[in-house]
Amino acid sequence: MKILVLGSGVIGVTTAYYLAKDGHEVTVIDRQAAAALETSFANAGLIAPGHAYAWASPKAPSTLWKSLFKPDQALRLKLRADPKMWWWCWLFLRQCTEERARINTIRKLKLCVYSVACLNEVVKDTGVEYDALRKGNIYVYRSQESLDRGVDHMGILRDQGLEFEVLDRDAVSVLEPALAKVRSRIAGAVYSPLDQSGDALMFSRRLAAHCADKLGVRFLFDTAIKRIETSGDKVERVITAGGARHADRYVLALGCDSPILGRSIGLKLPIYPVKGYSVTLPTKTGKGALGIGGVDEDNLMAWCPLGDRLRLTSTAEFSGYDRSHRAKDFRAMFRAAKELFPDAADYDRPDYWAGLRPMTPEGTPILSYARYRNLLLNTGHGHIGWTLSCGSGKITADLVAGRTPEIDLEGMGYH
């Protein structure tokens, strides 16, 4: 079967891998010059079932409201005259109940755990290297009060079988010696041993090379997608800057651009971009070097060692498709990082980046056929696309093959 995958981020590449493994003739199209140059380019790096909480929760509305007056909030809303933003926000607010937060978190966790297992199999099969760490991640709390809340919050993940440990400040120092010098500033942490980390850009590029060299996948870069043409209940062709492309099946994996292209063929995808900021720094050697990824929960700042680099990420900003950034946007994450691990990196040599996460109101992706019988959706992975990538690719291949996916996809379809 000929299959056309639209998008070459980590989602598109993993989808191409699984489809090609099934014996399909796969072509991947992207407007960029290489794989993973947008959302996957400089994301947090954490592969994190231990952080699988739905963003839509009873506390989220008040946090967004405060952000209108306090711009230093980690979750913030910038008002825009954009009907699509208001429609999405209305759908998001409908998910901000205790019951919906619980359901969405459980669904998200199950997909995370499944996807980590799929990732391990991909690595075993291909030997792809990507500065991976398989030591788990730690979620650090500055005060006893926030630690107690965090442990209580973890209950929903524990009840679903996720293993984790609660560490006091001394145990944190043993697990991550780089924090020993500042242990008086923290109360403790939650440690999730199933978690991993690694460079999504490196993984995507090397898996794409494996797909091209070993599985016959064709990648068409520098090829803008102009429109999708349909007839009746099927997609007939995709029109690109390089001409028309025909296939038996089509997979929409364009992240934040999925709803834009989808609207042209009558799809109303509940996906909106949420901007995130990251900075990559050269690491230092010695006692201050970090050996494990984690999150400063009180400041919502994540860190991830990537070989000789350190990645810091923070902020979820509802500001449309704006990818711009300024040095002051990174001040809060720098301050939090320097307080916890002042000797971990060369903070005078930052490489700044901002990208857009394709969020659904529920926080789970859309994995299903669309209204057209030969069009599949693999999009809307939000802030945790790297974690969900391999599982989502495997599920998409299962749907193409007519196999029943190994996990329940309730709530992850297109309606």
pLDDT for 68 beyond 60: no
pLDDT for 71 beyond 70: no
Beta bridge partners of 47: 196
pLDDT of residue 316: 85
pLDDT for 415 beyond 80: no
pLDDT of residue 285: 81
Residue 27: how many CB atoms within 10 A of its CB? Answer: 19
pLDDT of residue 65: 63
Q: How far is CA 111 from CA 196, 375, 390, in A?
A: 15, 22, 10
Per-residue pLDDT tens for 172-223?
A: 999 999 999 999 999 999 999 999 999 999 999 999 999 999 999 999 999 9
pLDDT for 41 beyond 70: yes
- What fold, for 2-401? FAD/NAD(P)-binding domain (3.50.50)
Per-residue pLDDT tens for 227-286?
A: 999 999 999 999 999 999 999 999 999 999 999 999 999 999 999 999 999 999 999 887
pLDDT of residue 290: 95
Residue 134 and residue 192: Cα distance in Å, rounded?
Answer: 11
pLDDT of residue 82: 86
pLDDT for 317 beyond 90: no
**Radius of gyration in angstroms for the set of CA atoms belonging to the chain, rounded to a whole number:** 21
Per-residue pLDDT tens for 88-125?
A: 989 999 999 999 999 999 999 999 999 999 999 999 99
Domain boundaries, the chain: 2-401
Amino acid at 64: L
As a whole-number percent, the residues of the chain with pLDDT over 70 amount to 97
- List CB contacts of 339: < 8 A, sequence separation 6 or more: 182, 185
pLDDT for 67 beyond 70: no
Give the strand pairing for 375-379 and 249-252: parallel
Residue 353 and residue 168: Cα distance in Å, rounded?
Answer: 34
Mean pLDDT for 5-15 is 98
Nearest to 382 by CA among 4, 31, 43: 43
Per-residue pLDDT tens for 21-35?
A: 999 999 999 999 999
